Amino acid sequence: MGAIVAAGLLSHVPSIMLPEAERKSRYGGRDTSFPQALQDIYRERLASLAFDTFIVFDTHWFTTRGFVVNTQEHLQGVYTSDELPSVIHNLAFDYRGDKGLGEAIVLQAQQAGMRCEGADYQGMALHYPTLNLMHYLNPQRQHRVLAIGVCQTASHERHMEFGVAIGRAIRDSARRVVILAAGGLSHQFWSYDEMPQHSSPDPHHISSEMNRAYDEMIIDHLKKGHHAAVIDIVPEFRSKCSPEGFFAHYSMLVGALGDRECKAAAVQYGAYENAIGTGQVMLWFPL
């Protein structure tokens, strides 16, 4: 019988891929806490943990008609970000995929009445939320990687239902899995003209006080294990704060972890930070 052995709601900000000196230059002399946070998560939570596969809910992979699961057996290539090519470029990657588990997730979702398909095609792309986190958390490349996209037309409730199907497929498998919800919180950027004045990671630079208030309320609930409260907040959060990926990475995560019955309390690594207006955090759920 399979199991979800740990989970995280983790920022994937591109700057974590830069050398420290360049990060400080871009952040107005102050470094982000996130590279150290990810190193600490790896050392304290993952290095000695026995598991097979990372499932990554990737908030830069948008689908439209339904849910899509990367069912490739081998993930290999060279990645350059078309959004920020000077930050992430010529990044070679080579991971084992998890075709079997991916196909089991697709089947579970279809049996529950959802539109869901596997994708095992030449040229299927990975995105930097997956690659950035794997760079830090899968440095020896010994764990399989299974990326799942966000359906941009699906509601919070549908994403939770999909998460429930993912959890069921994992439990019915022989896999021990770590789930990573790869994305931030509120996601409203400063404008082109305003951006240079708000490069510091200090949360004072979050794009609005309302966004910061919602972010901090959600973080507080998650650290207390109050997932039912967060589930109720998400529709309002989506409508008011433009969360990254519609906050679907969290919706799928909480569905997989038990929906409203989930009581997993998060441990925060690093600080709550600004990234040119958006709210970012590193939260780890020991299970």
pLDDT value of position 212: 99
227 vs 224: CA distance, rounded Å = 8
| CATH number, position 21 | 3.40.830.10
List the chain pLDDT tens, one digit each, 287 residues. 999 999 999 999 999 999 988 888 877 778 899 999 999 999 999 999 999 999 999 999 999 999 999 999 999 999 999 999 999 999 999 999 999 999 999 999 999 999 999 999 999 989 999 999 999 999 999 999 999 999 999 999 999 999 999 999 999 999 999 999 999 999 999 999 999 999 999 999 999 999 999 999 999 999 999 999 999 999 999 999 999 999 999 999 999 999 999 999 999 999 999 999 999 999 999 99
108 vs 166: CA distance, rounded Å = 7
pLDDT value of position 263: 98
For 14-42, the DSSP string reads GGGGS-HHHHHHHTTT---SHHHHHHHHI
How many independent structural domains does the chain possess?
1
Spatial contact of 55 and 137, defined as CB atoms under 8 Å apart: no
pLDDT value of position 30: 81
End-to-end CA distance of the chain: 16
220 has which bridge partners? none
* Segment (H or E) for 114: none
140 vs 108: CA distance, rounded Å = 31
Spatial contact of 111 and 130, defined as CB atoms under 8 Å apart: no
| pTM value > 0.95 | yes
CA dihedral 198, 201, 206, 211 (to 10 degrees): 160
Enter the tokens of residue 23. Answer: 């990060």
pLDDT value of position 143: 99
Three-state DSSP state, 85: coil
Q: How far is CA 82 from CA 34, 58, 110, 187, 238, in A?
A: 22, 16, 33, 19, 26
Q: Domain of 109?
A: 3-286
